[in-house]
Amino acid sequence: MHEVDMTRCLLLSMNEWKQQHAPRVPAVDRVHLEVGTFTCVEPDQLVVTWADAVKGSWLDGAELVIESVLLVGRCVRCQATYSPDPANGFRSPCCQHPMEEIVSGRELRIRSVAYGFETATTQPTAPCFTPAC
Amino acid sequence: MHMPLEDTLGLNLLAANQQRAEHNREHFDAWNLLCLNVMSSPGAGKTSLLERSLAALSGRWAMAVLEGDMTTLLDAERLEAVGIPVVPITTGRACHLDAAMVSGGLKLLRQRLDPAALDILWVENVGNLVCPAEFAIGEHRKVALLSVTEGDDKPLKYPVMFREADCVLITKVDLLPHLPVDVERIEAHIRQVNPRCAVFRLSATSGEGFEAWHAWLDAQRQAVQTSPALLHA
């Protein structure tokens, strides 16, 4: 359910980004996100929520592209990086040490926006969500 | 058709919530109070914990509660009975509190009292082991509860919550003699995903473990009084 709130925050950031280009309105092709696997975000659900939220707005038709970032830990004993496995209790396979340091996997990041400007400007409409964050 | 362009943002997806959370925390620091975000699954014992801790600590600390709940005021009414100011935040369909909701709760709290007179502000989050872990509210400390009735595997099944916590409270330990559950294994699983957090075993029914938990709480309160910046990491 919180993918709706994630989408709301994403739309707020996108609206702020749009203001940087005012008075022109960018035609957004794709929004690239980096989502770590050690987060509470389900990428497929986020894509569905996004597609629904942007309908009828200035972002209508913009594709949400999500790149998963794998969870990588670093063993504090031997400094080896590893892929923490829930089946192994997230411990380092080398020393069986608990997951102390996380190198990657906690990302929730808007990496980039691919866009352009149409020759004929269109009147933007408000996004579906009201700013609530 | 248009000329393809690309902007690199590198922006936190939750930047809007994060900014509001930082704003909340500026208020908490200006008021010199310790804000705790209390999280768990439904029924783990958050309200029972607060009832006992509020009653025990009310002579030592001035406290208030922001009480998050999806639909009812039942928990807020339980805590009001302790004699502590409580502001209910009804989230409707939202399964967690976010920084804006807490900001709204603070506005209501300010209509009732001067927050600068408080020492500790408790925020009881909505019962959920998933979503609250990702939404900062401006808290100084995150406290997660896990009851022994939930089984020993929950820290591994919901690792983000237990990874994010500064303190994990294993609750309802008075039920251990009646359950086929190994509390040592629960604690070991917590330590596997978060070796640095404080862990206490409690029973709100018998009072077991509350002395150590309150000592930890006192230390956090003293820390925010001495140097709030230290708690911002």
ipTM confidence score: 0.85
Q: How many CB atoms lie within 10 A of CB B32?
A: 14
For residue A122, the model assigns a pLDDT of: 52
CB contact under 8 A, A112 and B6: yes
At A89, the amino acid letter reads G
Min distance A126 CA to chain B CA atoms (Å): 18
For residue B58, the model assigns a pLDDT of: 95
The two tokens of residue B5 are 């362009």
Q: How many CB atoms lie within 10 A of CB A113?
A: 22
Taking contacts as CB-CB distances below 8 angstroms, the residues of chain B near A133 are 14, 16-17, 20, 98-100
For residue B232, the model assigns a pLDDT of: 46
The answer to whether B172 touches B207, Cβ cutoff 8 Å, is no
Query: Which residue, among A36, A101, A99, has the nearest Cα to A71 in the 3D structure?
Result: A36
Q: What is the mean pLDDT of residues A118-131?
A: 57
Q: What is the pTM of this model?
A: 0.89
Min distance B17 CA to chain A CA atoms (Å): 5
pLDDT tens digits, residue range B36-83?
A: 999 999 999 999 999 999 999 999 999 999 999 877 788 888 998 999
pLDDT tens digits, residue range A45-64?
A: 999 999 999 999 999 999 99
CA distance B119 to B50: 15
Residue with tokens 């099944």: B157
Cis peptide before A23 (omega within 30 of 0): yes
For residue A132, the model assigns a pLDDT of: 45
- Chain A residues within 8 Å of chain B (Cβ atoms): 1-2, 5-6, 8-10, 12-13, 17, 26-27, 29, 33, 35, 38-41, 86, 89-91, 98-100, 102, 108-119, 131-133
CA distance A55 to B230: 44
Q: How many secondary structure helices (H) and strands (E) does chain A include?
A: 2, 6
pLDDT tens digits, residue range A15-24?
A: 999 999 999 9
Min distance A49 CA to chain B CA atoms (Å): 14
Taking 90 as the threshold, does the pLDDT of residue A3 lie above it?
no
Closest by Cβ to A133, choosing from B100, B191, B195? B100
Residues contacting B229, CB < 8 A, separation 6+: none
CA distance A60 to B44: 42
The answer to whether B157 touches B180, Cβ cutoff 8 Å, is no
CB contact under 8 A, A40 and B160: yes
For residue A133, the model assigns a pLDDT of: 41
Low-confidence residues of chain B: pLDDT under 50? 232-233
For residue B31, the model assigns a pLDDT of: 95
* HEC letters along A15-71: HHHHHCCCCCCCEEEEEEEEEECCCCCCHHHHHHHHHHHCCCCCCCCCEEEEEEECC
At B134, the amino acid letter reads E
Taking contacts as CB-CB distances below 8 angstroms, the residues of chain A near B96 are 2, 5
Taking contacts as CB-CB distances below 8 angstroms, the residues of chain A near B134 are 2, 39-41, 108
For residue B225, the model assigns a pLDDT of: 78
- Round to the nearest angstrom and report the end-to-end CA distance of chain A: 15
The two tokens of residue A40 are 């509470």
Collapsing DSSP states into helix, strand and coil, what is residue B27? helix
Min distance B1 CA to chain A CA atoms (Å): 7
For residue B1, the model assigns a pLDDT of: 65
For residue A131, the model assigns a pLDDT of: 47
CB contact under 8 A, A117 and B189: no
CA distance A92 to B156: 14
Taking 60 as the threshold, does the pLDDT of residue A2 lie above it?
yes
CA distance B229 to B169: 25
CA distance A86 to A88: 5
- Round to the nearest angstrom and report the end-to-end CA distance of chain B: 47
The two tokens of residue A105 are 């996997």
Dihedral (CA of B55, B167, B67, B95) sign: negative
